[in-house]
A and B are shown apart, each in its own frame.
Chain A
Amino acid sequence: MMQAFRQETGGLIDRARPVAFSFDGRRLQGYQGDTLASALLANGVRLVGRSFKYHRPRGILSAGPEEPNALVELREGAAREPNTRATVAELFDGLSARSQNRFPSLRHDVLSINGALAPIFAAGFYYKTFMWPAAFWERVYEPLIRRAAGLGRASGLPDPDRYGKQTAFADVLVIGAGPAGLSAALAAAGQGGRVVLAEQDSALGGRLLSDRRSIDGRPALAWLAEAEARLRAAGVRILTRTTITGVFDGGTYAGVERVADHLAAPGTLPRQRLWRVVARRAVLATGAIERPIVFGGNDLPGVMLAGAVRSYVNRFAVRPGARAAVFANNDDGAGTIADLVQAGMEVVALVDPRPQTPPALRAVAASHGVPVFEQSTVRQAVGGTALSSIVLGGKADGVRLSCDLLAMSGGWNPAVHLASHHGGRPVWHDALAAFVPGQMPPGMRAAGAAAGHVSTGGALRTGSEAGGGKESAVPSTGPESDAVTPFWQVVNPTGKAFVDFQNDVTSADVALAAREGFTNVEHLKRYTTLGMATDQGKTSNVTGLAMMAALTGRTIAQTGTTVFRPPYTPVAIGAMGGTHRGARYRPTRRTPAHDWAASQGAPFTEAGEWLRATHFPKVGETMQQSIDREVRTVRQAAGFCDVSTLGKIDVQGPHAGAFLDFVYANTISSLAPGRARYALMLREDGFAFDDGTVARLSDTHFVATTTTGNASRVLQHLDFCRQMLKPDLDVCVEPVTDQWAQFALAGPHARSVLEQLVGAGSDVGGRSLPFMAVAQAAVCGVPARIFRISFSGELAYEIAVGASHGAALARALQSAGAAPYGLEALNVLRLEKGHPVAAELNGQTTAADLGLGRMLSRKKDFIGRALSERAALQDADRPALVGLRPRAGGTLQAGAHLVPAGAPARIEHDHGHVTSAAYSATLGCWIGLGLLAGGQRRIGEVFRAVNPLQKMETEVDIVPPVFHDPAGAALHG
């Protein structure tokens, strides 16, 4: 029979719109307006999941985001989402949900044997049980525990959904749209400011949707409809399905809007939207979360929070059972009884642990024929996979009552979480028997149940005040009793009594922690894992704290408090990433000739923010064949390579030379106009920072290059030096990387290629443009800079033209007979010449380590000079740059460690490592660079390059780092 536990009338569901869904493959039906939890209850499904450690049967405890038990996997395939709370998942047509953490099936879970193994899962079990032997931890214990204790499974596939981000500015942000939040928003809207009202539920109203109340003499729902209409008319931005998850600096609030989670398919909508709300003031109207009571078997399906029972009965028109009992330490019991009876359920008992049950409450119970058990408790809930009876304790000790629903209430915990996101600790309030917000984030005020005012009247009044309204404008409400006497746990419960349902922490665990001295709240939490599950202890933290207070004879205030950090509820990483994923993770920079390189069939690789062509394969060539050909072309003819990614910085002004002398380790000011120089920059700590070339175009105009990866760091460093250290120098620093396309043209035929591109009037011969000279000339008819510099060791030029001419220059170079080469060949060429790159300029090497010690000027102050001279950096045993040549045709890998030949590959014999390695087509063998203790002193020795991870090793000869043309004859060609 369909929806056997649905009431025939009433509720806020739409009976005209049935919704089909499935749970563990069972096809069921609910209505539009249901949550998955309410629809399951309407179908009599009470067993929803298995618990974390003990695999105990669990049902539905709450009707909100605090739910610790009813966690399910939603949707299928890549969209599958584990650990979703059934209590907040809205039902949609075709929804598919599965229980989790059960094996092989929900009803017959063989791992519930863990209940019998309970002693090893007790508090601190991680620390005590599996200490020895260490190797067993990884291989045996951890997989075993992971299998036995766990939650849902991630899909393991890329998230198929889209996410958005949006920012809103407000004078007032109202968080929560129960009576307090609505009242605050109405008051704030009356002041004329911009108001944003965020509500986590799909509808406004909060408890007004679940409790039968009257406002201004009318049903509260009528007042609610009118309030919503007034807010919309006043232009209040109403965000439903939006949870404010964090409070950040400067009145910034993060929120997650579940835009399409209630739809079968998002269509063109983002699945969720991350809101950034910047608000002058905020009203915390987040309500309160009901406390469970700790007694034996309190986790059985059928034991529910009383407020949740009223939600299911009133809002969702469900009968969560047939025979109910109520166990409460407060006067909400009256409303619970009335609602259950009205819904046609039998109520067998009101169990009240307080010394005195108020006469008014007794009268309500009597009017419905419900027996009241005063000064009594529920010692044990009994049942298999669902509640079948309860056993009382206290005055009515031993009484056994048959029932399938127990509505429990231990009072309410104000939802103060957001109030402590700036570090303010909640404060214990004795009269309210609750933690209320302490020091609030700037601009925030609490109202309603979040501030401890749990009655509807109190919520309306304090909400209006917090929104800036006048008390006279607050509507009237009927009388309500919010009397509560703290009651946390039943002493000597029968069976396991749970404090933290999600992490399976029992009263015995808390007692054990107390006996073993973990009485500090933070220790209690970590030792027992109380409050550390995905629900972050929303239903357990305060109870655990109160129990520890009782165990140690302290008051709750003396015992401590608990603070909360963002996010309030779990946030999908996808929502935080928004559209910034995959190729959109960060901007991609393409060189001006990118499309030309792509048209040549070049593959690209990421180099910092850039995409660079790796090689230019001809038809039928492997990558290695292509690289080898490109290297040989440069050594034997002419090749060209796009080097536009190098950082280019223009430095101009009368003091430009003095400034560059300060930022570079070698002297720059002595450079003649029309000349360039290799330049090395240190950090202030004396280590090498970056290198490049500096060219002097005129007396007052220099252009410097940086490595591709350091361009923005070097720019910030130069800005710092100019503004903060040398403000008196008349110099201007500007990045011009994007303005220029630059190509290296290298090889013995480079000059004849270049001669075809420059006009007849320009002489690029060796006499007028010698090595390290710079010329400004027309290339292909456009203004260009020609630098006679070489990274490859060949006769070479770097030609820079305006960025928009980059592709044309590439085509011209190709037509003039040069062949393109990519990043891989560039790397081989520099390796053959022993030039350090980022792998060697790794932040831990000094100029001396790199064989560049003589570049450091002795005649001037410069960044890094003082600390480069300290004794530790002069140590002759420091790892320094050497060349590595495998013996017997071996290969070499960067990252391999260098161990003396004959010594075992252990850390005490580690003398350094391989920083770069590649196959050299020029030499016909693998070559590498490395950082080796003692550096070039070790030339002639034999080492083993060992890579234990990949089980590779090669014998290498230590050689000078320059493999090809050490005399540099080719440069001057």
Chain B
Amino acid sequence: MEEFVYAGDATLSRPGSNAELSAWVDYVYFRDNPAGPHSELWYHAAACRQFLKVERDTRTHVISSAELA
């Protein structure tokens, strides 16, 4: 088990309960795959269990910021 676990794209927002099916399909299945800055969630699994919002460059893996999500 790793201390931090990747938990997906941080920019998604869950559709409202009356949203179209297409909005749900987007939310659940479709992801951007940017070469460059990416906002993502990380879960501090082996410690405080907080989700963190991390700005990471997918080309260099450089993390420019991390804050409580």
Q: Residues on A close to B: CB < 8 A?
A: 249-250, 422-423, 442, 586, 684-685, 712, 715-716, 719-720, 723-725, 861, 865-867, 870
Contacts and interface: CB of A to CB of B under 8 A. Distances in A.
B51 A723 contact: yes
B51 A685 contact: no
Contact of B61 (A249, A712, A723): A249
A861 B18 CA distance: 9
Nearest to B17: A861
B66 interface: no
A246 to B, nearest CB: 14
7 contacts: A422-B60, A423-B59, A442-B60, A712-B45, A723-B51, A861-B17, A866-B15
A723 B21 CA distance: 25
B19 A866 contact: yes
Contacts of B50: 723
Interface string B3-44: 001010000001101010100110111000000000001010
Contacts of B28: 684-685, 867
A250 B27 CA distance: 32
A719 B44 CA distance: 11
A586 to B, nearest CB: 8
A720 B7 CA distance: 9
A227 B24 CA distance: 67
Contacts of A865: 17
B15 A724 contact: no
Given A861-B17, A866-B24, A719 B49 contact: yes
Contact of A867 (B5, B24, B43, B49): B24
| Nearest 4 pairs of A and B residues by beta carbon | A861-B17, A249-B61, A866-B24, A723-B51
Interface residues of B, number: 24
B33 to A, nearest CB: 17
A423 B7 CA distance: 25
Contacts of B19: 866
A685 B30 CA distance: 12
A720 B45 CA distance: 11
Nearest to B7: A720
B56 to A, nearest CB: 10
Given A719-B43, A724-B41, A870 B51 contact: no
A687 to B, nearest CB: 11
A716 B5 CA distance: 10
Contact of A870 (B14, B21, B27, B69): B21
A867 B22 CA distance: 10
Nearest to A863: B14
Nearest to A683: B28
Nearest to A870: B21
Contact of A723 (B5, B25, B27, B69): B69
Contact of B43 (A250, A716, A866): A716
A866 B21 contact: yes
A423 B14 CA distance: 36
A423 to B, nearest CB: 8
Given A684-B28, A866-B21, 6 more contacts: A716-B5, A716-B7, A723-B51, A866-B24, A867-B21, A867-B28
Contacts of B21: 866-867, 870
B69 A866 contact: no
A586 B59 CA distance: 32
A424 to B, nearest CB: 11
B59 to A, nearest CB: 8
A723 B43 CA distance: 11
A866 B5 contact: no
Contacts of A712: 1, 45
B68 to A, nearest CB: 9
A724 B45 CA distance: 15
Contacts of A725: 14
Nearest to A866: B24
Nearest to A718: B49
A724 B61 contact: no
A712 to B, nearest CB: 8
B51 A724 contact: yes
A711 to B, nearest CB: 12
A48 to B, nearest CB: 42
Nearest to B27: A684
B69 to A, nearest CB: 6
Nearest to B41: A724
Contact of B51 (A684, A719, A867): A719
B51 A866 contact: no
Contacts of A423: 59
